[in-house]
Structure 1
């Protein structure tokens, strides 16, 4: 609790005072100090300051009077008391109506009441309330600390606070079920937004919510809510609430330590699965169960790498921070999307790669995986604010039943080959990389490389000297399956110019474009060149 306008009005010295506006607010308007102010107000009134005034100079000018009261109200004053009888005969209706509309405590004082007596009373009572507040804060902190040392739960601590404050006390966190004290009926409904600073909200059903953000590790982890069904009951002093939250941090830190430990165990476990480093599968199953991971079902492995879109105006620290947030958001969305399609998922971020094992049978693996990735990318696009995109590699349906390592390996191969041939931001499946894996094997053979150099090297050398890309012409001609008209349109070449290039290709390579064996050799060599000699 704290000293309020209502407490002041209950004092004998204010017996003859009349409340003209703000009746419903007097029990919640906190008084921290008092001052005597006349026009102009300017910056002389502090927040939660009770203002005394004779309103000298305002009586003959209602507009000036209203401006004076508005300035006091907008300065954050807890209330305004005006002495009536000499300088002001009566308070204008415009002023009263304004105060009523803004629920601002406006009090009429008889001229006989001395401002000095009111000032002394307020200072004494504020000091008294502060002393009581310090004692109450110390008592609550001691009790909470003892509860923590005794191993009591956070729920028990909230129950103690409910008794001490005489209000419903609970913690609500984003994307989590609210934590309630056992004394009250639980509900997952969240009737208020997550504020950035302490505030008081009146609900539609007449309850008052005193809300205070809970900060930890430079981020908001939730809010502490003190809910009272009797708005006339004064709110708990903010300093008491803040000190209470400081003590509650003991539970939050303990909770976070447990979460961090479990996450580290999970990351280490997933790394062991992807490396294939285990000796007893029975032990692995038990360890997976203890971490809440089912490794006995069928999964498909998906590996992603973050592709940065360069922002020259960003510092390296900012880029790394954005990247970390993007990875965290992607992992969170992965779990949400998997849950929405009723699939189990195992998520991790290791070796600079996002690693996902998505539940899928062999028959549904491709369709499920693509639908799942579509959902993630759509959500990332909707949320925006991240200068990144993701390249994905999708493994075969090996994962589960002791084959996590092979599925992960397949997904990594698909990712690297896909990035090499398609560029960043694409998806590649292991099944579709067969030709490239075969070419990679052939490219390691010395005699094969000599054949490729002899066949395609002539085209490349000629193109460099004449600024004429014959290799691209050959590749396009092969892709169009030897159709001259299609090739001409694809290259935007006149038909005769294309025929000239094709004859030059035959001359330089010594191969005929009408012979099936020569065509196969040219196609193989062009692919091997792009794999092995591109850029040479």
Structure 2
């Protein structure tokens, strides 16, 4: 009988209690007994436990039998099992109110034979309780071993099915995103009765949901549930460890790939596929950095970059993978078609989505991201070239196109050519002829002729737009242009002069990029 609960009914069938008579609470004979105590104190508040059997002679309430009602009230509050009284010792007669409450609370009240010593009763009952608990411990040890084996063999679905069988209900493991990872066949979120968090330290990974409400009497089921939560925490810990290992391998591969790998194309494709690195038909690289107008300290910048990497490398995202190098985020992307316009739109939308999420997650500074975009590559072994193009586009774009969030390498082809030939003597001749005189004038008189000329050339000679951009009157723009003509002794609208001015101005801006 060790596999069945030890109830009041089993107690009354024991030889020592065969002559005991139930006075009230007959409906509660199925109450399970987990503890036994002998009490003769008048005040029992705070001492009683759930599923406890109380044996008493009635001495403490011999002069006030109604105190037995208080004992029953307290037992009802904590979930006690039954009360046995040697009525013929001190009480003689049980009050009707006590019998009424015994029936009301379904707490059996029975008369104990006067000749049976408390010591014998206690020893016999404890033997039954300990046998039952020893059996439960063996069962729980076996259950825990089964749980652990299933987790270590990564058979979470079978684990959840076993939990459902033990608890006699539907069950499921739900992750932190609210997604059902594993569940019994008839599980439905609408039927959830209890949720039990699965935590490792302070981090919540999800919860175990069941469709049955467990009561205090469900000791075995509650213990099984506690073991299940413990091994599920182990399962999530294993997953976290594997994910961290995968992320480190992905990061190392990305660094190797973006810096230029000597490995063969087939090997690179194999490694990328094994690590879950997205390639697609036409891979390319984005280089992104924070360009906020509000100064941010190193801690905030690091926090922002770490958050960005988590968003970009989210396990549920298969479009991009990124890595941080020297404060910049290098992001491997891909498209199914070789379409530069679509490439630009995708990047712009990507930046907008990140800004929206950043504001939502509490990065309230005036955050601005700028991106350089490299050209497509048909072979993964050439992705390092796209990365270098993206870095050039970002570097040049910050000076040449300061208001442009996304700068494609195609936007700065002229600047790239000038940067690659920056030591050519023709460029120095153009600089000395068109830039140096205006630079000297600006330094001597605190004017802004070079800035005005740059805006004038970039905005297609539209003096109204130049005035709006520089926040000055249009007449001031016209005056500055006239001073430029006088200093250079050139007609700005001449096609040849215009071409040379554009090259000279772009070369001047590149010298600022290179810090020369």
TM-score normalised to the size of structure 2?
Answer: 0.65
Which residue in 2 is equivalent to 1:522?
A: 501
Which residue in 2 is equivalent to 1:170?
A: 172
Which residue in 1 is equivalent to 2:356?
A: 381
Which residue in 1 is equivalent to 2:91?
A: none
Contact 1:276 1:404 in 2 (8 A): yes
Change (3 A) 1:212 1:308: farther
Return 522-531 or 294-303, whichever deviates more.
294-303
**1:368 shift after superposition:** 5.0
Contact 2:290 2:370 in 1 (8 A): yes
Change (3 A) 1:500 1:347: closer
Paired with 2:411 and 2:251, the residues of 1 have a C-alpha distance of 30
SS at 1:299 equivalent: strand
SS at 1:179 equivalent: strand
Contact 1:360 1:368 in 2 (8 A): no
Which residue in 2 is equivalent to 1:360?
A: 336
> Residue deviations 1:203-249, cap 9 Å, x none?
3xxxx533221123642222223334999994766555333332344
Q: Which aligned pairs between 1:18-417 and structure 2 lie closer than 5 A?
A: 107=105, 136-145=139-148, 151=153, 153-175=155-177, 176-180=179-183, 184-185=184-185, 191=189, 203=191, 209-216=193-200, 218-228=202-212, 234=218, 238=222, 240-291=224-275, 295=279, 297-306=281-290, 316=299, 320-332=302-314, 336=317, 345-351=319-325, 352-362=328-338, 364-367=339-342, 369-371=344-346, 373-374=348-349, 377-378=352-353, 381=356, 384-387=360-363, 389-400=368-379, 402-417=381-396
> Residue deviations 1:131-164, cap 9 Å, x none?
7765554343234345567x47333444444444
Contact 2:22 2:109 in 1 (8 A): no
Which residue in 1 is equivalent to 2:418?
A: 439
**1:443 shift after superposition:** 3.2
**1:529 shift after superposition:** 1.8
Contact 1:49 1:79 in 2 (8 A): yes
Which residue in 2 is equivalent to 1:4?
A: none
Change (3 A) 1:427 1:146: closer
Larger Rg over CA atoms? 2
Paired with 2:256 and 2:42, the residues of 1 have a C-alpha distance of 72
Paired with 1:494 and 1:186, the residues of 2 have a C-alpha distance of 74
Gaps of 5+ in 1: 1-6, 20-25, 55-68, 92-105, 193-202, 339-344
Change (3 A) 1:107 1:354: farther
Contact 1:168 1:227 in 2 (8 A): yes
Change (3 A) 1:425 1:178: farther
> Residue deviations 1:40-75, cap 9 Å, x none?
x9xx8999999xxx9xxxxxxxxxxxxxx9xx9xxx
Which residue in 1 is equivalent to 2:454?
A: 475
> Residue deviations 1:110-145, cap 9 Å, x none?
9999xxx9xx9xx98999998776555434323434
Paired with 1:459 and 1:356, the residues of 2 have a C-alpha distance of 43
Change (3 A) 1:505 1:168: same
Return 374-383 or 349-358, whichever deviates more.
374-383
Change (3 A) 1:502 1:292: closer
Paired with 1:319 and 1:46, the residues of 2 have a C-alpha distance of 58
SS at 1:504 equivalent: helix
Change (3 A) 1:162 1:405: same
**1:260 shift after superposition:** 3.9
Aligned length: 457
**1:507 aligns to 2:510 (yes or no):** no
Paired with 1:131 and 1:520, the residues of 2 have a C-alpha distance of 95
Change (3 A) 1:397 1:140: same
Paired with 1:14 and 1:355, the residues of 2 have a C-alpha distance of 78
Paired with 1:509 and 1:238, the residues of 2 have a C-alpha distance of 90
> Residue deviations 1:335-359, cap 9 Å, x none?
64x6xxxxxx352324242413222
Gaps of 5+ in 2: 1-6, 13-20, 53-60, 62-72, 82-93, 112-117
Query: Cα RMSD between the aligned structures?
Result: 5.6
Paired with 1:413 and 1:262, the residues of 2 have a C-alpha distance of 30
SS at 1:332 equivalent: coil
Return 218-227 or 154-163, whichever deviates more.
154-163
